């Protein structure tokens, strides 16, 4: 990287001074001489040029077909944003235009019913510690759910157990269990209905599903209860008629906020 | 004054030549520091890349050292390549181009070389932090936040130098490469600082970080590497072929539509993610709108090259630059289409994305920087490259390696996506399917790394002064080799005649 003068190249004269005073002709270095004397001078012309002029701009016009294509593309962009842009709203996560443009009334009707089995299967993860994944429980400690009489019995009793828990001796499939089951009232009506539907339809159980409305009604009816259920109280409850359900409220959908 | 125009195009005046010599000399130390450091990080990044690639199909490879586990080697590879290689090569190139096109000397002759050293310290600090486990684990921003101090210092100087060269320029008319460089120089620091705040600040949480992360990661490519890469293409293609750029109007359209649309594109990486639908939709539309600048630039470059493709046989610079320019068209068209929801549902989270990013950062940007370096090194050092065959080896290993890489992983990624979308196929079967393609990636990466070593040897020999006594540029086909080739053919003909 020293600045000592070197044999000059066409584009890199050894120093500014030489350039300014024109004491040397940078074009006449040996390669140039060789090239000029070569019979192929025309063909080589392009290759020996060390450096061309600084780039310049041409003035060819923009092709019309290109502009047409661009306008079409921009048109598509507008259409796509209108269709899939969710109206630029922060609370719409689904690009499906049906979500945005659905009317409120249609929305309620078209809303998909909740899959209670799916909700229940997920919620049942809370239960497997004691009742096990296969619903068999642990003999002598935790009662089974698979084939248990109460599981396929009146659903409002089951809802009551989940809402407030259990305490004391309980007869299940001819065995007596003396333990505690915690209350699960913190779960939503939908989750309780889901988990009940799941255990009633899994393994060898074949009982019908439980609606969230029933759970809701049961929650209202037993709102004042603070202690867990006992085996005898449950048997009494089983003989009572189930609470009256209110009409199921329409599930909340995105369309409601439109 | 000497008549240089004998072997030059008309209208080269000697004052212009003198200015050229002076600007090249003013750039020498700064560009040299940035360029040689870039080559160092390129080599280190290649080693880390091969390690990461091998670990994908030999999981136990070097697994006993925690600082060489995949989770550290991979981000170390990425940051070494982006902040070590790509950004340093970009800064060196843009400073030289600025001085050249403005016909001004590089300002800050002391501070700019220092900035090159400071940048190296920043990258080294960040790399060590990643390898010992202090990565921020935000992709493309893995360096610990204090690295911003080092980078910020350098970027302020680079912005200042760019603006000063703009103000002092001797030619009133600005050339398209200058627009891209000013764009990139002003966009990148803004991107880096805002992305750091939006991903690392304590009270920014959740999906906002993901949005900011992809906005940044995509824009590093689009609003920093792309402008510098395109500025190089716009400069070197007309420079080497000696023809004006096809159309000023297309240049204008291409630049402003890039500036307008690219910034929106990043969020297409979040298709299917838990963020408002409009953010993704706008990202997809922004990506598709990139057809406008890319088509424009592709036409402009192609029409400039039309009839000049013979130069590819002789000029190393042009060969790398044209490879890069073609890859730019390809990667951008592919990126636009890959942003669509229907495509993304298959290709997202597969090796296809990796192939795409290498098509962009390697086949486009890295090859472009190789081309620029082949042009700029001899001018700032006033020496020639010592070996044309070695340059050929460099070109073909990197070109073939990167093609194997992109085609192999691109295809494997698509099949992987289709298999993963089919619930009947077990996940392990999908993994097993990709193994041969991951091995092909290791082969491709090794080829590319061989090219990098060859390039490093060429740079080393240039620094040592091997090409100092040589007269005239190092071209693939020189006047001498052309004549030798012709004589060989003539002798062969005569021999054939003799036999007959």
How do residues A36-77 score in pLDDT, each as one tens digit? 554 444 333 333 446 777 888 998 999 999 999 999 999 999
Q: Does domain A116-239 have CATH number 1.10.760.10?
A: yes
CA distance B33 to chain A (A): 12
* pLDDT of A131: 86
Query: Does B289 contact A73 at a Cβ distance shorter than 8 Å?
Result: yes
* pLDDT of A14: 41
Of A157, A152, A147, A171, nearest in space to A240 by CA: A157
Domain extent at residue B262: 14-467
Query: Does A12 contact B379 at a Cβ distance shorter than 8 Å?
Result: yes
**Closest residue, chain A, to B246 (C-alpha):** A58
pTM of the model: 0.74
In a domain, B486, yes or no: no
CA distance B6 to chain A (A): 8
What dihedral angle (degrees, nearest 10) is formed by the CA atoms of B318, B321, B326, B327? Answer: 150
CA distance A114 to chain B (A): 20
User: Nearest by CB to B472, which of A46, A50, A77?
Assistant: A50
* pLDDT of A231: 80
User: Nearest by CB to B12, which of A34, A53, A92?
Assistant: A53
* pLDDT of B133: 93
How far apart CA B37 and CA B459 sit, in angstroms, is 11
**Residue A10 clears pLDDT 60, i.e. is over it:** no
CA distance B54 to chain A (A): 39
How far apart CA B185 and CA B258 sit, in angstroms, is 15
Is residue A178 within a helix (H) or strand (E), and if so which, with residue range? strand A175-181
In a domain, B65, yes or no: yes
Number of domains composing chain B: 1
Query: Does B471 contact A9 at a Cβ distance shorter than 8 Å?
Result: yes
- Is the separation of the CB atoms in B420 and A40 below 8 Å? no
CA distance B338 to chain A (A): 16
Residues of chain A with C-beta less than 8 angstroms from the C-beta of B381? 1
**Closest residue, chain A, to B479 (C-alpha):** A44
Of B314, B313, B356, B299, nearest in space to B332 by CA: B356
User: Nearest by CB to A48, which of B7, B11, B176?
Assistant: B7
* pLDDT of B147: 94
Top residue of B243, B244, B278 to mutate, by most chain A CBs within 10 Å, is B278
CA distance B133 to chain A (A): 35
* pLDDT of A36: 53
Identify the CATH number of the domain in which residue B125 sits: 1.20.210.10
How do residues B54-113 score in pLDDT, each as one tens digit? 999 998 898 888 999 999 999 999 999 999 999 999 999 999 999 999 999 999 999 999
CA distance A154 to chain B (A): 38
In a domain, B228, yes or no: yes
* pLDDT of B205: 80
Confidence label for A110 from pLDDT (cuts 50, 70 and 90): low
Size of interface A-B (CB pairs under 8 A): 201
Confidence label for A247 from pLDDT (cuts 50, 70 and 90): low
Query: Does B379 contact A40 at a Cβ distance shorter than 8 Å?
Result: no
CA distance A58 to chain B (A): 5
* pLDDT of A113: 67
User: Nearest by CB to A50, which of B18, B234, B473?
Assistant: B473
In a domain, B226, yes or no: yes
User: Nearest by CB to A38, which of B280, B282, B479?
Assistant: B479
Query: Does B248 contact A73 at a Cβ distance shorter than 8 Å?
Result: no
Residues of chain B with C-beta less than 8 angstroms from the C-beta of A94? 277
In a domain, B88, yes or no: yes
In a domain, B97, yes or no: yes
How far apart CA A195 and CA A192 sit, in angstroms, is 5
Write the secondary structure of chain B as one string of H (helix), E (strand) and C (coil).
CCCHHHCCCCCCCHHHHHHHHHHHHHHHHHHHHHHHHHHHHHHHHHHHHHHHHHHHHCCCCCCCCHHHCHHHHHHHHHHHHHHHHHHHHHHHHHHHHHHHHHCCCCCCCCHHHHHHHHHHHHHHHHHHHHHCCCCCCCCCCCCCCCHHHHHHHHHHHHHHHHHHHHHHCCCCCCCHHHHHHHHHHHHHHHHHHHHHHHHHCCCCCCHHHHHHHHHHHHHHHHHHHHHHHHHHHHHHHHHHHCCCECEHHHHHHHHHHHHHHHHHHHHHHHCCCCCCHHHHHHHHHHHHHCHHHHHHHHHHHHHHHCCCHHHHHCCHHHHHHHHHHHHHHHHHHHHHHHCCHHHHHHHCCCHHHHHHHHHHHHHHHHHHHHHHHHHHHHHHHCCCCCCHHHHHHHHHHHHHHHHHHHHHHHHHHHHHHHHHCCCCCCHHHHHHHHHHHHHHHHHHHHHHHHHHHHHHHHHHHHHHCCCCCCCCCCCCCCHHHHHHHHHHHHHHHHHHHHHC
* pLDDT of B471: 64
What is the residue extent of each domain of chain A?
16-48, 64-110, 116-239
Residues of chain B with C-beta less than 8 angstroms from the C-beta of A48? 7, 472, 479
Query: Does A73 contact B288 at a Cβ distance shorter than 8 Å?
Result: yes
By CB atoms closer than 10 A (0-12, 13-18, 19+), residue B454 is: buried
User: Nearest by CB to A27, which of B2, B299, B381?
Assistant: B2
* pLDDT of A143: 87
Contacts of B330 (CB under 8 A, 6+ apart): B359, B363
How do residues A187-220 score in pLDDT, each as one tens digit? 888 888 888 888 888 888 888 888 888 888 888 8
Residues of chain A with C-beta less than 8 angstroms from the C-beta of B173? 57
**Residue A245 clears pLDDT 70, i.e. is over it:** no
Residues of chain B with C-beta less than 8 angstroms from the C-beta of A9? 382, 471-472
Query: Does B478 contact A9 at a Cβ distance shorter than 8 Å?
Result: no
How do residues A124-171 score in pLDDT, each as one tens digit? 888 888 888 888 888 888 888 888 888 888 888 888 888 888 888 888
Top residue of B285, B321, B384 to mutate, by most chain A CBs within 10 Å, is B285
Contacts of A196 (CB under 8 A, 6+ apart): A120, A155, A158, A159, A162, A210, A215
**Tokens 């370096």 -> residue:** B373
Query: Does A40 contact B479 at a Cβ distance shorter than 8 Å?
Result: yes
**What is the largest distance, in Å, between two alpha-carbon atoms of chain A?**
120
Positions of chain B with pLDDT lower than 70, given as ranges = 1-15, 467-472, 478-481, 499-500
């Amino acid at each position: 990287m020293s600045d000592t003068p070197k044999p000059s190249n066409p584009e890199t004269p050894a120093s500014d001074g030489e350039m300014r005073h024109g004491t040397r002709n940078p074009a006449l270095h040996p390669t140039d001489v060789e090239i000029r004397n070569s019979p192929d001078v025309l063909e080589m012309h392009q290759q020996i040029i060390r450096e061309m002029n600084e780039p310049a701009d041409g003035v060819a016009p923009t092709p019309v077909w290109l502009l047409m294509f661009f306008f079409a593309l921009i048109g598509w962009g507008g259409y796509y944003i209108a269709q899939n842009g969710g109206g630029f709203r922060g609370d719409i996560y689904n690009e499906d235009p049906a979500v945005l443009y659905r009317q409120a009334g249609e929305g309620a009707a078209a809303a998909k019913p909740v899959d209670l089995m799916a909700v229940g299967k997920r919620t049942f993860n809370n239960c497997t510690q004691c009742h096990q994944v296969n619903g068999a429980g642990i003999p002598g400690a935790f009662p089974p759910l698979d084939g248990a009489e109460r599981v396929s019995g009146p659903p409002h009793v089951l809802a009551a157990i989940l809402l407030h828990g259990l305490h004391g001796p309980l007869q299940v499939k001819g065995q007596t269990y003396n333990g505690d089951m915690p209350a699960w009232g913190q779960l939503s009506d939908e989750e309780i209905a889901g988990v009940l539907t799941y255990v009633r339809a899994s393994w060898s159980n074949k009982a019908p599903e439980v609606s969230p409305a029933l759970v809701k009604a049961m929650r209202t009816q037993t709102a004042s209860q603070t202690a867990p259920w006992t085996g005898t109280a449950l048997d009494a409850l089983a003989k009572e008629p189930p609470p009256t359900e209110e009409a199921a409220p329409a599930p909340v959908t995105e369309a409601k906020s439109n | 004054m000497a008549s240089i125009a004998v072997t030059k195009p008309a209208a080269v005046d000697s004052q212009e030549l003198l200015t050229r010599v002076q600007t090249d000399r003013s750039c020498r130390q700064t560009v040299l520091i940035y360029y040689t450091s870039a080559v160092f990080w390129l080599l280190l990044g290649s080693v880390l890349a091969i390690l990461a690639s091998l670990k994908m199909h030999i999981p136990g490879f070097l697994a006993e050292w925690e600082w060489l586990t995949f989770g550290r080697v991979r981000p170390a590879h990425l940051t070494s390549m982006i902040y070590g290689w790509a950004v340093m090569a970009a800064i060196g190139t843009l400073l030289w181009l600025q001085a050249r096109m403005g016909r001004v000397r590089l300002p800050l002759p002391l501070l700019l070389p220092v900035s090159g050293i400071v940048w190296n310290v920043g990258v080294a600090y960040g790399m060590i932090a990643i390898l010992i486990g202090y990565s921020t684990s935000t992709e493309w921003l893995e360096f610990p936040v204090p690295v911003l101090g080092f980078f910020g210092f350098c970027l302020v100087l680079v912005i200042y130098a760019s603006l000063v060269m703009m103000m002092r320029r001797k030619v009133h008319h600005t050339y398209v490469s200058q627009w891209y460089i000013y764009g990139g120089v002003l966009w990148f620091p803004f991107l880096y600082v805002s992305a750091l705040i939006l991903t690392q600040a304590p009270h920014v949480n959740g999906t906002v970080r993901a949005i900011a992360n992809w906005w940044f990661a995509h824009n590093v490519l689009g609003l920093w590497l792309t402008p510098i890469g395109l500025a190089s293409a716009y400069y070197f293609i007309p420079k080497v072929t000696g023809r004006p750029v096809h159309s000023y109007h297309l240049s204008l359209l291409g630049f402003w539509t890039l500036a307008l649309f690219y910034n929106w594109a990043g969020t297409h990486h979040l298709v299917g993610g838990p963020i408002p639908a409009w953010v993704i939709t706008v990202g997809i539309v922004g990506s598709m709108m990139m057809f406008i600048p890319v088509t424009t630039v592709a036409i402009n470059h192609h029409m400039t090259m039309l009839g000049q493709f013979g130069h590819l046989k002789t000029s190393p610079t042009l060969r790398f630059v044209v490879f890069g320019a073609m890859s730019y068209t390809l990667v951008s068209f592919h990126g636009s289409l890959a942003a669509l929801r229907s495509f993304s549902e298959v290709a997202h989270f597969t090796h296809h994305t990796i192939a795409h990013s290498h098509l962009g950062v390697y086949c486009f940007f890295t090859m472009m920087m190789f081309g620029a370096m082949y042009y700029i090194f001899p001018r700032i050092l006033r020496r020639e490259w010592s070996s044309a065959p070695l340059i050929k080896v460099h070109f073909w290993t990197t070109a073939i390696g990167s093609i194997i890489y992109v085609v192999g992983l691109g295809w494997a990624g698509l099949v992987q996506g289709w298999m993963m979308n089919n619930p009947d196929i077990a996940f392990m079967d999908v993994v097993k399917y990709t193994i041969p393609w991951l091995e092909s990636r290791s082969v491709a990466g090794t080829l590319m790394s061989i090219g990098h070593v060859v390039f490093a040897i060429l740079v080393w020999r240039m620094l040592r002064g091997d090409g100092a006594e040589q007269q005239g540029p190092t071209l693939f086909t020189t006047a001498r080799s052309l004549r030798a080739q012709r004589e060989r053919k003539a002798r062969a003909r005569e021999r054939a005649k003799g036999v007959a």
